[in-house]
Structure 1
Amino acid sequence: MTTRNKVKSWLTDMDGVLMHEGEAIPGAPELVAQWRAQGIPFLVLTNNSIYTPRDLSARLRRCGIDVPEDNLWTSALATADFLKDQAPGGSAYVVGEAGLTTAMHEAGFIMTDVDPDYVVLGDTRTYSFEAISKAIQLINRGARFIVTNPDVTTPSPEGDLPATGAVAKLITAATEREPYAVGKPNPMMFRSALNKLGVHSEGTGMIGDRMDTDVVAGMEAGLYTVLVLTGISSRDSIDRFPFRPKEVLNSVADLLDEGNRKGARQNKAEKMTKEE
């Protein structure tokens, strides 16, 4: 697929694309509203496995972006979906928070620390040494090792914090077992999102702010890739990679129809006036 006008459904990253530090990126509320008004299938994706879709929907709504729960797809949901296909009705020792434990319960998994089929590691605000030690012991006894995503850090107001990928490296060092990571940049996450939407890669676009996750995984999944410059990757950094997105845009505002684009500009002007 070589032109945007052939895109009939969309996947989009959340942080750095729709919002940044709790604020909507200009054009994001209007783009989501445009998709919903036009009946365009879409999902908002995130590697963060802490929150449930309900939590994320409320978080987005607080900054003016109205995304229903059913239009959110997290690495926790993708992981639960993957494991449900691999071992229906299986068991798992889960290190994570509500986003992951809820997804695993809804996928029919039994949570246990006694001879589980899997150890599943996700994001959490407080990694417990006891839980990590238990994960190491269970993996050494034969449990298969799964992580929701390979991200080694996560941003915070105080600076970067260790994330799932960093803790996974600790467990790997102790067990000599590498995990299988379901979240981006594994295109598996995009394929499960396509299945949820009931659409094909041919005709679906992916909007992201990172060349090393969103764009490469979108490309490998056969999607039309759009890089926006409101997050991690800059225009100058693109040349460091041996692949290219189909489009590079300043922001999601560039994807708006003309009428909605005018509305976004007006909303931005009104916001700036209020802040002054």
Structure 2
Amino acid sequence: MTEVKAPDLNAMRGFIFDVDGTLALADRGLNGYAPLPGSLELLELLRSRGLPYVVFTNGSLKTPVQLSQALGNAGIEVAPERALTPPAIAVSVFRNKGYKKILVLGAEGVWKPLADAGFEVVCAPERADDADAVFIGWYPEFGLPDLDAASRAIWQGAGFYTVSTVPYIASRDGRTLGISGALTAAISSVTDKEAIVVGKPAAEAFAIAREILGVAPEHVAIVGDDPALENEMAHLNGAISVSVHTGLYKANDFARLPDNRRPHYSLSGIDQLLELMR
């Protein structure tokens, strides 16, 4: 159903897709993707029409190459350069800030894109009190020494960044803990500093995705399952919001949003979007 004045979906020239709860669902460990109904067919339709798309997850367990491979194993075709994760956005943000040394609390998917981009990366619990920034991502091994290392760097003036602050994400097991959000909250409670989010819905995140698409904002459709992430990113940047109910949020959750924050399309799933575009 439509929530606000809905533009013609066939006038869209590029698409940004969320992954978890939108195109696919993974297991609790965020592996073993299973495509949701209509995902494979919709992406094939876009390719047949020459319409570009990117996938963009706030997850940081995997590098873009690993994400591309994992989705490919489920039949979801996306080139590595069109598989976006927050660390790819962080590279741009940190370069613009002139940062050199980054203290990372995160797995390979968090630190490797930074190291590949030429930053000096220190992985907690090793300390880097002189770091330019502290960056939080997927890190289930987190312990008190990590909290100490991050806090000391922030107390010394390091910038504080995170991939996401959401408390949970969608998986085949329902709600799965959003580890980066929990860690960010812990560090904020100690340092009294609020983290800057580099994933969705940050303006920098949309700018990089749109640059890859090469499409004006008003011709970009952002498809996702979270009112505060994909839907909000669309409204903040003049894009079209297409929300689906196959994640953790249902039709009523989107209907309760203020009028100026409701999605342009609120759909049961990708399969309904496919039908609208055929």
TM-score bracket, shorter-length normalisation: 0.7 to 0.9
Amino acid at match of 2:10: N
How far apart in 1 are the matches of 2:152 and 2:89? 25
How far apart in 1 are the matches of 2:64 and 2:51? 19
Amino acid at match of 1:13: D
Match of 1:145 in 2: 160
Superposed, 1:21-170 pairs within 5 Å as 21=26, 22-87=33-98, 90-112=100-122, 113-154=128-169, 157=173, 160-170=176-186
* 1:134 positional shift: 0.5
5+ residue gaps, structure 2: 1-5, 27-32, 123-127
Match of 1:18 in 2: 23
Amino acid at match of 1:130: P
5+ residue gaps, structure 1: 262-276
* Cα pair 1:150 1:183 within 8 Å, conserved: no
* 1:154 positional shift: 4.3
Q: TM-score, normalised by structure 2?
A: 0.85
SS at match of 1:227: strand
How far apart in 2 are the matches of 1:45 and 1:239? 24
Amino acid at match of 1:51: K
How far apart in 1 are the matches of 2:70 and 2:250? 26
Q: 1:183 aligns with which of 199, 213, 217?
A: 199
* 1:114 positional shift: 4.8
How far apart in 1 are the matches of 2:139 and 2:72? 23
Q: TM-score, normalised by structure 1?
A: 0.86
* Cα pair 2:174 2:248 within 8 Å, conserved: no
Match of 2:262 in 1: 244
Match of 1:266 in 2: none
Q: Percent same amino acid at aligned positions? A: 28
Match of 1:274 in 2: none
Between structure 1 and structure 2, the one with the greater Rg is: 1
Deviates more, 1:185-194 or 1:25-34: 185-194
* Cα pair 1:17 1:251 within 8 Å, conserved: yes
